[in-house]
């Protein structure tokens, strides 16, 4: 589906900022019918913003690494598992970090080469490991049992895969427990401070000359930068210890994970990659001196600010004196926010029926979703210009871990996803990233062809 026509005004003057680009895209999405009664919710992705974030990531690490240091920035596919997005990032010099057979298939479909792909999941099957090693994809083993599986595979066939071990520096939690991967009892990696663990890790490397990488990912949203940098420091110190014990630079690459948090409270993009890279350079000077190649695995920080969930307002009602906009975006596209609103508050922007920003006095309102439970709220008591039926609401900063990860409660259709950018004439152009799911597809995916299977038992 191509959407090249546009009824938004021509732009002149300097390139608009992300908020202005978003407003123009909403207006164009309404005008072009990407959103409407038949498809009352859609995901919009700002291609210009994604490219800018990829460039900022490259620039931040280029500024602190010794010339010639091999650096692979691998996008955490889980953040936005959409093939055209992975392709866009690949074209912007970003590889893929995958954590399931599905994510690996998406990265391959996007054309991300094995040498720019890293496999990291905590529950890799023997078959997955075999495939990764056959393809030459980098693998970080999670635990001693997985390392034993790698022993068998490495002994059975030659592989081009760089192999490493994930360790948990146990530096503590951030503000969101569910995303804190470096707690004392985290399920991820080898817990480095457990009794005997460090010595075991050193021995594991000395016994396996092919183990050349060391990996950590200390957490995502909610983990302070200083804590993340502490985790990287611990991993760098361990690599130095192992290399000293080996008497050679056995570990040649450090994978420092992702985790840069995102500011969900304004359009400002903070903290920046540059600030994190500078903090790493001052906390772990040896990280960037050229002694180690580097892998990063950022997800949320590359995509979150560039995604908007746009929904039609079906009704505007009141309950107990509280105005409620009943929209088509709820738990199916903003699962984390609906189930854990204190950890994942979202900014909402209100637009009128034509997709123009709503103005007027601010009124505390609920923005509700279409699902059948009381907690299905995108926002509770948020001050917005009074919303009317037929308006549109936009949940901002939802480009990562939101609309691309559909939750099929109430059999609500997966929305279409569209990338937007300025065309050569300055008007908004859309490209389809994912078609909206049709009701027939929901039936087919829900056993539609297996109707009689249970009745005959």
Ligand X SMILES: Cc1ncc(COP(=O)(O)O)c(C=O)c1O
- Choice from 128, 146, 297, 391 touching ligand X (CB under 6 A): 297
> Mask: binding to ligand X, 113-152, rule CB under 6 A, as x and -?
-------x--------------------------------
Q: Which of 301, 309, 332, 337 binds ligand X (CB under 6 A)?
A: 301
Return the range that interacts with ligand X (CB under 6 A); candidates 263-271, 274-282, 283-291, 296-304: 296-304
CB of 281 to ligand X, least distance (A): 19
Rank residues 146 and 297 by Cβ distance to ligand X and give the closer one.
297
The structure tokens listed for 263 are: 């500011």
Select 259 or 385, whichever has its Cβ closest to ligand X.
259
Number of residues that bind ligand X (CB under 6 A): 17
Q: How far is CA 231 from CA 108, 194, 269, 337, 391, in A?
A: 31, 15, 23, 28, 46
In the complex, what is the shortest distance from the CB of residue 95 to ligand X, in angstroms, rounded to a whole number? Answer: 12
Looking at the Cβ atoms of 119 and 393, the one nearer to ligand X is 119
Q: Which is nearer to ligand X, 60 or 311 (CB)?
A: 60
- Footprint of ligand X on residues 200-259 (CB under 6 A)? 217, 220-221, 257-259
Cα-based distances in Å from 229 to 126, 129, 217, 242, 287: 33, 30, 10, 20, 11
Q: Which stretch binds ligand X (CB under 6 A): 142-150, 232-240, 299-307, 313-321?
A: 299-307
Cβ atoms of 371 and 409 within 8 Å: the answer is yes
- DSSP letter at 250? -
Residues of 183-198 as b/e, b for ≥16 C-beta within 10 angstroms?
beebebbbbbeeeebb
Residue with tokens 């800018």, as numbered in its chain: 52
- Give the range of 123-131, 297-305, 408-416, 436-444 binding ligand X by CB under 6 A: 297-305
Q: How far is the CB of 244 from ligand X (least distance, A)?
A: 27
Tokens of 310: 């746009």
**Is residue 173 involved in binding ligand X (CB under 6 A)?**
no
Contact call for residue 299 and ligand X (CB under 6 A): yes
Site string for ligand X, 61-80 (x = CB under 6 A): ---------------x-xx-
Site for ligand X in 361-380 (CB under 6 A): none
User: How many C-beta atoms surround the C-beta of residue 452 within 10 A?
Assistant: 7
CA angle 412, 414, 415 (to 5 degrees): 115
Decide if 363 contacts 383 (C-beta within 8 A): yes
Cβ 390 to ligand X shortest distance, Å: 36
Least Å from the CB of residue 141 to ligand X? 13
DSSP string, 111-162: T--GGGEEE--TT--HHHHHHHHHHT-EEEE-SHHHHHHHHHHHHHS-----
Tokens of 438: 């049709």
CA nearest to 16, candidates 352, 420, 433: 420
Please give the residues from 96 up to 115 whose contact with ligand X meets the rule CB under 6 A: 97
Q: What are the DSSP E strand ranges found in 320-361?
A: 322-327, 348-351
Which residues lie near ligand X (CB under 6 A)? 76, 78-79, 97, 120, 217, 220-221, 257-260, 297-301
């Amino acid at each position: 589906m191509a959407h090249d026509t546009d009824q938004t005004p021509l732009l002149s003057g300097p390139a608009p900022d992300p908020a202005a680009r978003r407003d123009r895209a909403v207006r164009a999405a309404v005008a072009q019918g990407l959103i409407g009664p038949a498809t009352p919710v859609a995901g919009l992705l700002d291609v210009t913003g994604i490219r800018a974030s990829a460039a900022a990531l490259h620039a931040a690490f280029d500024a602190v690494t010794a010339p010639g240091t091999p650096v692979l920035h691998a996008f955490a596919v889980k953040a936005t598992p959409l093939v055209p997005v992975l392709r866009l990032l690949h074209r912007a010099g970003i590889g893929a970090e995958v954590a399931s057979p599905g994510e690996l298939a998406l990265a391959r479909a996007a054309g991300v080469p094995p040498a720019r792909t890293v496999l990291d999941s905590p529950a890799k099957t023997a078959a997955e490991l075999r495939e990764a090693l056959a393809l030459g994809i980098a693998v970080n083993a999670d635990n001693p049992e997985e390392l034993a599986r790698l022993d068998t595979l490495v002994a059975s066939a030659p592989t081009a895969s760089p192999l490493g071990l994930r360790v948990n520096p146990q530096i503590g939690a951030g503000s969101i427990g569910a995303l804190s991967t470096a707690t004392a009892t985290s399920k991820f990696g080898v817990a480095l401070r457990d009794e005997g663990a460090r010595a075991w890790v050193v021995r594991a490397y000395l016994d396996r000359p092919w183990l050349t990488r060391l990996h950590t990912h200390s957490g995502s949203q909610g983990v302070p930068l200083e804590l993340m940098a502490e985790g990287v420091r611990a991993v760098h110190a361990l690599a130095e210890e192992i290399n000293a014990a080996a008497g050679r630079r056995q570990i040649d690459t450090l994978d420092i994970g992702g985790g840069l948090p995102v500011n969900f409270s304004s359009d400002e993009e903070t903290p920046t990659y540059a600030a994190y890279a500078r903090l790493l350079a001052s906390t772990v000077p040896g990280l960037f001196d050229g002694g180690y190649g580097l892998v990063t695995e950022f997800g949320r920080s590359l995509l979150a600010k560039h995604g908007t969930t746009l929904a039609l307002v079906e009704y505007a009602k009141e309950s107990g004196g509280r105005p409620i906009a009943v929209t088509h975006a709820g738990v199916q596209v903003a699962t984390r926010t609906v189930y854990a609103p204190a950890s994942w508050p979202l900014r909402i922007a209100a637009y009128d029926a034509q997709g123009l920003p709503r103005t007027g006095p601010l009124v505390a309102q609920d923005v509700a979703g279409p699902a059948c439970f009381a907690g299905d709220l995108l926002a509770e008591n948020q001050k917005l210009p009074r919303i009317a039926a037929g308006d549109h609401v936009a949940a901002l900063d939802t480009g990562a871990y939101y609309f691309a990860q559909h939750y099929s409660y109430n059999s609500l259709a997966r929305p279409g996803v569209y990338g937007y950018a300025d065309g050569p004439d300055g008007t908004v152009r859309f490209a389809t990233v994912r078609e909206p799911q049709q009701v027939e597809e929901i039936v087919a995916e829900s056993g539609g062809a297996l109707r009689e299977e249970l009745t005959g038992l």
